[in-house]
C-alpha cells in the first residue's frame, strides 16, 4: 500500500509539470513572515496559473517554518467552462498537505463539482462553487476516507490602490464519523498593495474553523513581498 500511495503522489506531480503548450503561464512568488497560534516564522510561496476563454489551470506550493513546526501545501486546480461565453464551469481541486503541528504526515484531499459566475464586472468577479470532497488524513499509512458536501463563495475585487480576495467555504462531513466530526468553515482574506508593475505587498489571513469545538481551529497571518511575471513552456 505504501508503494502504491508513493506512486500516486509522484504521478500527481508529474502530471502537473508535464503539461506543455504555447499559452503563457503567469507565475507568482512570495517571501515573508508568518504567524500561527502566537508562533512566528518565515514562509515561501510559489504559484503558476493560466487562463483561456474556456479553461483555468492553477498550481500552488506553500511552505512555512515556525520554531519546531513546519507546514507544506501543494495544490492543483483545473476548471473548464461549458463554452466560451458560459457562466458555468466544472472543476477539480487536488492537494497534498503536511503539517507537523497538526500531526499530519501527509494529507490527501480532492474536491470536485460545479461553479458559476454570479457577477462579472470591470474590476472583479463573484463566483460560487458546490461539490463533493474527500480527504485521507494519513495518506501514506491509511485508506480511510472522510467525505464532505461542500460549497463556497469567492470574491475578487480591484481598486485603484489595492486588490482584495475573499473566500468562504463550508465542508459538511457526510461520511461516518470515526474519530471526530471534521465539519468546518474555511476563510481567506487577502489584500495586495502594488509597489510597481511586478512587485506588491501581500497581507493574508486564513482560518480553518471547526464546528465541533473539541477540534482545534487553526489560523495564520502572513506578510510578504510578491513578485509576478509570465513565461511560456517550450
Cell of 96: 497534498
How does pLDDT run across 174-203, given as a tens digit for each residue?
988 767 788 999 999 999 999 998 999 999
How far are the Cα atoms of 34, 85, 118, 151, 228 from residue 168, in angstroms, in the given order?
21, 26, 15, 9, 25
Mean pLDDT confidence for 38-67:
88
pLDDT greater than 60 at residue 167: yes
> Cα(95)–Cα(193) distance, rounded to whole angstroms?
28
CA distances from 135 to 39, 70, 79, 94, 199 (A): 27, 20, 20, 10, 35
Average pLDDT, the chain: 83
Q: What's the CA gap between 102 and 135, in Å, rounded?
A: 15
C-alpha cell at 89: 464551469
Domains of the chain: 31-232 (2.40.160.40)
Amino acid at each position: 500500500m505504501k508503494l502504491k500511495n508513493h506512486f500516486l503522489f509522484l504521478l500527481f506531480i508529474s502530471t502537473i509539470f508535464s503539461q506543455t503548450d504555447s499559452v503563457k503561464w503567469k507565475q507568482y512568488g512570495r517571501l515573508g513572515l508568518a504567524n500561527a497560534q502566537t508562533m512566528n516564522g518565515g514562509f515561501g510561496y510559489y504559484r503558476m496559473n493560466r487562463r483561456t476563454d474556456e479553461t483555468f489551470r492553477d498550481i500552488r506550493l506553500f511552505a512555512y517554518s515556525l520554531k519546531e513546526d513546519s507546514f507544506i501545501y501543494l495544490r492543483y486546480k483545473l476548471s473548464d467552462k461549458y463554452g466560451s461565453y458560459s457562466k458555468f464551469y466544472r472543476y477539480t481541486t487536488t492537494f497534498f498537505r503536511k503539517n507537523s503541528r497538526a500531526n499530519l504526515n501527509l494529507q490527501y484531499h480532492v474536491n470536485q463539482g460545479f461553479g458559476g459566475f454570479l457577477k462579472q464586472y470591470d474590476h472583479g468577479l463573484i463566483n460560487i462553487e458546490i461539490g463533493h470532497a474527500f480527504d485521507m488524513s494519513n495518506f501514506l499509512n491509511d485508506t480511510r476516507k472522510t467525505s464532505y458536501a461542500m460549497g463556497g463563495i469567492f470574491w475578487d475585487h480591484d481598486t485603484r490602490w489595492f486588490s482584495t480576495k475573499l473566500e468562504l467555504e463550508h465542508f459538511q462531513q457526510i461520511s461516518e464519523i470515526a474519530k471526530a466530526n471534521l465539519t468546518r468553515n474555511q476563510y481567506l482574506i487577502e489584500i495586495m498593495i502594488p509597489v510597481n508593475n511586478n512587485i506588491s505587498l501581500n497581507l493574508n489571513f486564513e482560518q480553518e474553523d471547526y464546528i465541533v469545538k473539541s477540534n482545534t481551529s487553526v489560523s495564520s497571518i502572513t506578510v510578504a513581498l510578491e513578485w509576478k511575471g509570465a513565461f511560456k513552456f517550450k
